Amino acid sequence: MTHITRRETLALGAAAFLAGILGGHHKVLAAEEGTLTIAYNVNLPSFDPTVGPSAVNPTIQAIYRSVFDQFIGQKPDLSFEPGLLTEWGWNDDKTKLWMTVREGVTWHDGSPFTAEDVVWSLERAAKQETGNPIQFIWSTAGNYKIEGNKITADVVRFEPTFFKWMAFLTGYVLPKAYYEKVGAEGFEKKPIGTGPYMVDEYQGNAFLRLKANPNYFGGKPTFDTVIFKFVPDTTSRVAEIESGASDVTLEIPYEEFDRLKGKEGLAGVATPISDIGMIFLNNIEVMNDKNVRLAAHHAIDKDAIVKRLLKGYGVPIDTLEAPEYDAYDASIKVGYDPEKAKELLAASGYSTDKPAKFKIQTTRGFKPKDYEMIQAIVGMWRKVGIEAEIEVYEIAKHYELRAADQLAPAAFYNWGNAIGDPTTSTGFAMFGPSPHSVWNTDDLDAKIGPLWGEKDEEKRIAGWKEVSKYIAEQGYVIPVLQYVQPIVYKSSLKVTPNVSGALQPTLVSKA
């Protein structure tokens, strides 16, 4: 008798269940060469990539980029390339900007894509009432003028990252005429873009099926059909790939990644992505004591966390700038030094007998080993004279508390920054007036303030490096690591990893 393990039973159950959801025809599809099935880690709450909270969820961008095109494209190594715009820039004194629109592109309904669609999309994004979460960036330009396929605009307030955002969250072009005809509700029912794939069928919380766009300006994609199965549970994603029900999956525990990539018929790739794990510090209670903050940082053995908990899949960091970011400075080091941590705490009257006490918040299972990392850190703190109480919350609760500036004195979070600009990492996380910051002190705000509108790029990046150095010296935040994203797939495929973390079907080909 063949012995079937519990894991295999689970795998077969999940596969049979999902095959049932997708209908009998799915079995035929999976057997056909032209179908790619991805067991995906998040659901798709909305089709409009420019409004509401889902528009700034980095995890959904792989789906949005399949259906829609961005103003400016981004390669898997994060470098920029022409998208629906082929050229762009500012005039010499940065008072005007200009763009050249790609010609010969059609929307999924066959209508021509024009410069009008670009201007309408930008003006819509800049209006407060539209509900674009990045409205504060899009509103920095206005008074657009079109001449043929050339667009000019006035710079309302110089924003050095304006064009970078065109390849980032909410930077998508939507169809003016179609959207105005069907409205927001009609667009959700039948969305159209200019992207490599067209929406074929969508069942909320179950799956999204896409068909190749034969007229795509970048060439017809490899697969005729792409199915995103929404499988938020990690065990079920492992089952999906192991049973052969899905061709690709991602963000599974590193132990499972190591096990699966060694199996016959499967392969795996793990690459450092632009997400970092960090501990926000809130300037309340004991966190107002510099000795406590620095001691908390020096007490963490980041190398041990990466090696032991994450099986080596991670890059320890000491600033909010990952190695791929524009303002990364390898010379800024805080370092693991438990003896120094004890000295600092002693100087403020704390010891293992009389510990400094505070609460630390974390998610559990949102990222691989998030809760276990915090458990390990709390253990390291205990050895030097810090007693921290762990509180578990959902990621939505983190956003809510952060926006209201009500996070605990310490809170673990993962920060994505696919454009690698210091404003979108250090800036938003540490500048007091930012809705994403919980550290509010005048000294830091005074250093960051002038950099937002700095027109000299070299001076701007150098300024951010100075800010990073100051933050490390003062202990205003505790960066922990840069994440590595695990992807497992059938060995008949080839996957090009994306440093942004977006697993786009266009980056998957036949081996």
Quote the pTM value: 0.85
* Residue located via tokens 């880690």: 41
Q: Provide the sign of the torsion angle of the four alpha carbons 196, 201, 205, 206, taken in this order.
A: negative
* The pLDDT of residue 106 is above 50: yes
At 32 the pLDDT is 53
Closest Cα partner for 235 from 5, 14, 86, 494? 14
Residue 399 pLDDT class (50, 70, 90 cuts): confident
Domains of the chain: 69-176 (3.90.76.10), 273-484 (3.10.105.10)
* The pLDDT of residue 497 is above 90: yes
CB contact set of 411 (below 8 Å; sequence gap of 6+): 279, 280, 282, 360, 361, 362, 398, 401, 402, 438
Assign 3-class secondary structure to 233-261. CHHHHHHHHHCCCCCEEECCCHHHHHHHH
194-252 per-position pLDDT tens digit: 999 999 999 988 999 999 999 999 999 999 999 999 998 889 999 999 999 999 999 99
CB contact set of 233 (below 8 Å; sequence gap of 6+): none
* The pLDDT of residue 340 is above 70: yes
- Please state, in angstroms and rounded to a whole number, the distance separating the CA atoms of residues 110 and 113: 9
Identity (one letter) of the amino acid at 415? Answer: W
Phi and psi angles of residue 220, each rounded to the nearest 5 degrees, phi first: -60, 130
At 28 the pLDDT is 37
- Please state, in angstroms and rounded to a whole number, the distance separating the CA atoms of residues 431 and 442: 9
412-468 per-position pLDDT tens digit: 998 989 999 999 999 999 999 888 899 999 999 999 999 998 999 999 999 999 999
- Please state, in angstroms and rounded to a whole number, the distance separating the CA atoms of residues 431 and 448: 7
- The DSSP H or E segment spanning 426 is helix 426-430
Q: Which range is least confidently modeled, 41-55, 107-121, 237-251, 299-313?
A: 41-55
Mean pLDDT value of segment 74-100: 96
SS3 category, 121: helix
Compute the mean pLDDT over every residue in the chain, rounded to the nearest whole number: 92
Residues 171, 74 contacting (CB under 8 angstroms): no
At 263 the pLDDT is 96
* The pLDDT of residue 21 is above 80: no
* Neighbour count for residue 124 (Cβ, 10 Å): 18
At 394 the pLDDT is 84
28-47 per-position pLDDT tens digit: 344 356 999 999 988 898 99
Alpha-carbon distances of 145 from 96, 101, 141, 344, rounded to whole Å: 11, 13, 12, 60
